[in-house]
Amino acid sequence: MTTGNKLRLGVLGSGKGSNFVAIGDACAASDSPLEVVLVLSDIADAGISARARERGIPAQFIAPGNYRTKLDEAAEAAFVAALQNARVDLVVLAGFMRILKGEFLRAFPQRVINIHPSLLPAFPGLESWKQALDHGVKFTGCTVHFVDQGVDSGPIIAQKVVPILDHDTPDILHARIQEAEHELYPATLAMLARKRIVVNGRRTFFTNRI
C-alpha cells in the first residue's frame, strides 16, 4: 500500500473519526507525504472504523479488556502487534479514549502523537473546552503533542489558537476547536513526515527543510 517514501500512519480512535477524516483527506492529495495503513478501535461499532473502510483502509476492532480508562495487558499486546505487523512509522491518536502507558509507549518511543482540545499545558484531561469557559479565559485552542506516561503532558509539537467569543456555549466552542484540529493535525503530521520538526528533550523546533 505504501507509495514512495510516505510516512506510514497507524490511527487509533474510539469515536466518529472526524480527525481521522481530516487526515485521510490530506493523505489523498497527490503530494501528501502521509499514508494511513491501519485504523484500530477499542469500540466494535466506532464510526472511525466505518470511515476507514469507506477509504479502503484496513480497520480492526480489538477488545480493550476490563479496565475503563486503559487497555489491559492482553489488549495492549494485541494493539502493539497489529501496529508492528502493519509496519507503522507513527501512531496517531484520533479521539482514542484510553490512556496508553508502559509497554505500548516503549514499543513506539517518541512515535505516538495526540491532539488535545486546549492550549496545553492549560486544561489537560476531559472536556477541556468546558474548563476554558469555566475559567473565563479569552483564548483556547488545540495542541498536537507527543504522548508520554502522563496525561496530556508530552512534548508540545504545534498549537492553534481559537478565540472564545461572548456567545459561546460549550458545544459551539467545541465545534470551533474541532475545526482548528482538522487543520492543525494533518499539517503537523506532514511537517513531521518532511522532517520539518525536530525534538530536543521536551522542546520541539521547526527546521527550514522542505
* Selected catalytic residue, list 116, 145, 174, 182: 116
Q: Is 116 a catalytic residue?
A: yes
CA gap 84, 87 in Å, rounded: 5
- What is the residue-wise DSSP string for 94-154? SS--SB--HHHHHHSTT-EEEEESS-TTSS-SS-HHHHHHHHT-SEEEEEEEE--SSSS-S
H or E element, residue 161: strand 156-163
For residue 141, what is its C-alpha cell? 485552542
Which residues are known to be catalytic? Answer: 116
